[in-house]
Amino acid sequence: MNASGHSFGIVVSRFNAFITERLLASAVDALRRTGAKEKDIHIVRVPGAFEIPSAAQALAQTGKVDAIVCLGCLLRGETSNYEHICEEVTRGVGQSAQATGVPHSWGVLTCDNLEQAIDRAGLKSGNKGFEAALAAVEMASVKKALSAQHSALSPSSKVASHGSPVAGKGKKVASGQLPVTSKGKVLKSRTKQKRRK
């Protein structure tokens, strides 16, 4: 994986900062280890996880980043608020990625308790911020490769190699231009063909 030449955004929640700051530090570390420069890492802090999707979308729409890492921490409480926020944040991040075309990686912890969150932020279960950053690097590279393949495709079905219009069923050719086949051969007019018969 190579982050060199790419620019990354990180949207991180301040709520449960004890956890999210660990996620952030590991995400930045992952980006640097894979070749990202300091100037290519843009960090945006938001109050809580609920605000991550809107900030991620606004950042993506600037056109300054190739991928976005979303970091936050949601802990289950005694109310149903936890489920509602988890659903909205998940849906919002996905919609932002689809609407903008900029890859978003998921580094939002959804845990039953603080112990689980600590484990996923660098103790027993690795660091999800690091993993999310690596996913962003990979997706930025995938998007670049797909864009290069798309631009390399020639529109041969629309225009012949020398730039003349291609004749096809039901398609008209502008006056003064000779219709050609997709292989570049000039078609003879129908009136001349009829006279020969």
Q: What is the average per-residue pLDDT within 171-195?
A: 50
Q: Which residue has the higher pLDDT, 155 or 141?
A: 141
Would you place residue 181 in the very low, low, confident or very high pLDDT band (cuts 50, 70, 90)?
low
Provide the CATH number for the domain formed by 8-151 in this structure: 3.40.50.960
Q: What is the average per-residue pLDDT within 100-109?
A: 97
First to last CA, the chain: 67
pTM for this model (two decimals): 0.75
**Of residues 64, 63, 86, the one with CA closest to residue 75:** 86
Q: Please give the Cα distance from 34 to 40 (Å, whole number).
A: 12
Residues carrying CATH 3.40.50.960, the chain: 8-151
Would you place residue 157 in the very low, low, confident or very high pLDDT band (cuts 50, 70, 90)?
very low
Query: By the 8 A CB rule, do 143 and 6 touch?
Result: no
What pLDDT score was predicted for residue 150?
A: 73
Q: What is the average per-residue pLDDT within 154-167?
A: 47
Q: Please give the Cα distance from 59 to 11 (Å, whole number).
A: 9
